[in-house]
Amino acid sequence: MLRMANSFRLAAASLVLFGMIGCGTDSDPSHSGAASPQITDDSSESFEQMRVQREPLVLDDPPEGPQLEQFFLTNKNGITVSIINFGAIVTAVEVPDRDGNADNVNLGFTDLADYFEPGPYFGAICGRYANRIAGGKFSIDGTEYALATNNGPNHLHGGDRGFDKKVWVPEISEEDTSATLKLVYVSADGEEGYPGNLTATVEYTLNDLNELRIEYTATSDKATPVNLTSHCYWNLAGAQPDGGDVLDHVLTLHCDRYLPVDETQIPTGELQAVAESPMDFTTATPIGARIEQVEGGYDHCYVVNNGGEVLTLAAEVQEPKSGRVMKVFTTEPGVQLYTGNFLDGSESSGGYQQHEGFCLECQHFPDSPNQSGFPSTILEPGQIYRQTTVYQFSVE
């Protein structure tokens, strides 16, 4: 069995202070007027030497494709992001708290071999179409395509073996203030029922502004729906199995509307105001404040105010005890809030209990190929699909 590297070889004790990184403008998180986090000279030299590491993954029965590897991206402030090229999965994100103590804040499996079994999509890139497509069917130019129905009567997250179960080809690069892992997967025409040979690229960049940037591109030789997202589960208090829920995390969503859904989680087509309802996070509110009023918990797509074109602030989350803060910026029109409703403490849930993690999945709207009133998700030959999502960390 293969175990996760111990604390990514970083000594959190060497941290003196993890300072708050502010945002100059909502549309560009890279401009900040606040001071950078401070660390000791010794640890600064250490981080410069360890900005990108890679290690082979050895399994008894590896999947077909390129070499399986694990990658560690680090910045000068003590943040480490661990990624494997199976499913382009983020397996851990280690972030200091207000006292400089680093913890993993991203839910995942302790044994990396468990990522190769069915599970809750911990940290994975979901595609070719993230979220749900009603009845597993859609039509393009009069031709109907049938997909797997792997979520009740509907198609979810790309099907039986979506992008989360594929081996991606890696390429790494380093700059003075950032580290990037580029991952490429070529999805063949007809794979999981989708038309067109699609080349998808995901670039993870960790920079010294404490931003984890995820940049997506894709091209296809046939018209096809594309909707990619990162399915990271977060617990800013520290992601330990059976280690506490996220209901006291304080959430702000810059979203005045959301998409109501039917009994199978398919949008009704309405964009409904959140005001005066338990769906309203337009002001800072604990995630658990009204969750009992939402049947099954939150699993809803919110409409980002002024979203869908430029990088826009969609969400902010504060964890009171650790002081950790996470801001989420995206170019997408929607963000799916999911509160780990189906985590049950089992081995397939990584030992995590219900509500011990939350997701903020930046994406286009669910079932867009069947809903003409939603922004289109059809990628035509000659076009380039582009998307950027940024997770920015700080403390207060």
Rg (alpha carbons) of the chain, rounded to whole number: 20
In 264-341, beta strands by DSSP E: 272-273, 285-286, 299-303, 312-318, 324-330, 334-338
Q: Is 396 marked active-site?
A: no
Of 56, 55, 105, 110, the residue nearest 78 (C-alpha): 105
Dist CA 194 CA 179 (whole Å): 33
The alpha carbon dihedral of 135, 136, 138, 144 has a sign of negative
Q: How far apart are CA 385 and CA 367, in angstroms?
A: 18
> Is the preceding omega at residue 128 within 30 degrees of 0, hence cis?
yes
Name the one residue in this structure whose structure tokens are 């997506």.
216
Show the CA angle centred on residue 115, arms to residues 110 and 120, nearest 5°: 95
155, 231, 300, 364: the active-site residue: 231
Question: 55: part of which helix (H) or strand (E)?
Answer: strand 52-56
Residues 363 and 389: their CA atoms lie apart, in Å, by 9
331-364 burial, b at 16+ Cβ within 10 Å, e below that, comes to bbbbbbbbbbeebeeeeebbbbbebbbbbbbbbb
CB 291 within 8 A of CB 249: no
* Known active-site residue 364: no
- What are residue 180's DSSP bridge partners? 173, 205
Exactly one of 94, 191, 211, 361 is catalytic; which is it? 361
Indicate the residue type of 151.
N
Exposure string of 150-183, with b = 16+ CB inside 10 Å and e = fewer, is bbeebbbbbbeebbbbbbbebebeeeeebbbbbb
Cα distances (Å, whole numbers) of residue 160 to 148, 263, 348: 7, 22, 16
Q: Which residues are catalytic?
A: 231, 361
